[in-house]
Structure 1
Amino acid sequence: MTTTTAASGKGRKAPTIFDVAERAGVSHQTVSRVINGDPTVRDGFRSRVTTAIAELGYRPRAAARALAGGRSKALGLVTAGDALYGPSSTAIGFERAARHAGYHVLLSTLPEDPRPSDLSGAVATLLAQDVAAIVLVAADNRVLDALASLAVPVPVPVVVSNAVQRDAPTVGPMTAAVAAVAIDQVAGASMAMQHLFDRGHRRIVHITGPTVSQEAQVRRATYVRLMESAGLDPVVLDGDWTPASGFAAARSLDTTAVDAVFCGNDQMALGVLHAFADDGLRVPDDIAVVGFDDIPEAAHFTPPLTTVRQDFRAMGEQVLATVRSLVEGEPLDEILLQPSLVVRRSA
Structure 2
Amino acid sequence: MATSRRPSQADIAEQLGVSVSTVSRALANEIGISETVRRDVQRVARMMGYRSKHMRHAANPDKRALALVPLNSAIGNLASFYHGIVEGMRAQAAEAGLALDVRLVNEDLVTVDFVRRHVAKTDVGGVILAGIDPDEAMTSWAEEAGIALVLANGSDTHMRLSSVAPANFYGAYMATKHLLDNGHRKILHYTYHHRPTIRQRRRGFEAAIADCPGAEGTVVISNENSSRQLLLDLVAGKYDVSAVFCWNDSVAVTMIDTLLGPDSPMPPGFSLVGFDDLPIAGMASPRLSTVRVDREAIGRGVIRLMATKLDGEMAPLQLEVGLTLVEGETVHRWEQAQS
2:118 maps to what in 1?
125
Indicate whether 1:220 and 2:202 are aligned.
Answer: yes
1:252 maps to what in 2?
233
1:148 maps to what in 2?
139
1:291 maps to what in 2?
274
1:105 maps to what in 2?
100
Structure 1 304/328 Cα, relative in aligned 2: closer, same or farther at 3 Å?
A: same
2:163 maps to what in 1?
180
2:220 maps to what in 1?
237
2:62 maps to what in 1?
72
Indicate whether 1:333 and 2:330 are aligned.
Answer: no
Secondary structure at the counterpart of residue 269 of structure 2: coil
Secondary structure at the counterpart of residue 131 of structure 1: coil
1:136 maps to what in 2?
129
Structure 1 290/10 Cα, relative in aligned 2: closer, same or farther at 3 Å?
A: same
1:313 maps to what in 2?
296
CA contact under 8 A between 1:183 and 1:315: conserved in structure 2?
yes
Structure 1 146/261 Cα, relative in aligned 2: closer, same or farther at 3 Å?
A: farther
CA contact under 8 A between 2:69 and 2:130: conserved in structure 1?
yes
1:68 and 1:223 map into 2 onto residues whose CA distance is 47
1:74-133 CA distance string (max 9 Å, x none): 311123473134344323421343245443322345534456xx2332234224421132
2:57 and 2:246 map into 1 onto residues whose CA distance is 48
Structure 1 134/259 Cα, relative in aligned 2: closer, same or farther at 3 Å?
A: same
2:27 maps to what in 1?
10
1:263 and 1:186 map into 2 onto residues whose CA distance is 14
Unaligned residue ranges in structure 2 (runs of 5+): 1-22, 31-52, 332-339
Unaligned residue ranges in structure 1 (runs of 5+): 1-6, 14-62, 172-177
CA contact under 8 A between 2:132 and 2:151: conserved in structure 1?
no
Indicate whether 1:169 and 2:135 are aligned.
Answer: no
1:343 maps to what in 2?
327
What's the Cα RMSD here?
Answer: 3.3
CA contact under 8 A between 2:235 and 2:265: conserved in structure 1?
no
Tell me whether 268-277 or 74-83 shows the greater mean CA deviation.
Answer: 74-83
Structure 1 74/205 Cα, relative in aligned 2: closer, same or farther at 3 Å?
A: same
Q: Which has the larger radius of gyration?
A: 2
Structure 1 316/80 Cα, relative in aligned 2: closer, same or farther at 3 Å?
A: same
1:40 maps to what in 2?
none
1:264-299 CA distance string (max 9 Å, x none): 000010111132256822899431111000001212
1:24-77 CA distance string (max 9 Å, x none): xxxxxxxxxxxxxxxxxxxxxxxxxxxxxxxxxxxxxxx99x978742343111
How many residue pairs get matched? 276
Structure 1 169/328 Cα, relative in aligned 2: closer, same or farther at 3 Å?
A: same
2:266 and 2:285 map into 1 onto residues whose CA distance is 9
1:278 and 1:288 map into 2 onto residues whose CA distance is 11
TM (normalized to structure 2)? 0.70
Structure 1 151/294 Cα, relative in aligned 2: closer, same or farther at 3 Å?
A: closer
Structure 1 250/279 Cα, relative in aligned 2: closer, same or farther at 3 Å?
A: farther
1:151 and 1:179 map into 2 onto residues whose CA distance is 12
One of 304, 313, 332 as aligned partner of 2:287: 304
2:244 and 2:84 map into 1 onto residues whose CA distance is 25
CA contact under 8 A between 2:305 and 2:317: conserved in structure 1?
no
1:261 maps to what in 2?
244
1:207 and 1:107 map into 2 onto residues whose CA distance is 33
Tell me whether 195-204 or 122-131 shows the greater mean CA deviation.
Answer: 122-131
Deviation at 1:145, TM superposition (A): 4.3
CA contact under 8 A between 2:159 and 2:316: conserved in structure 1?
no
Identical aligned pairs, as a percentage?
A: 25
1:194 maps to what in 2?
177
Secondary structure at the counterpart of residue 104 of structure 1: strand
Structure 1 341/234 Cα, relative in aligned 2: closer, same or farther at 3 Å?
A: same
For residue 131 of structure 2, what is the amino acid of its counterpart?
A
2:135 and 2:183 map into 1 onto residues whose CA distance is 39
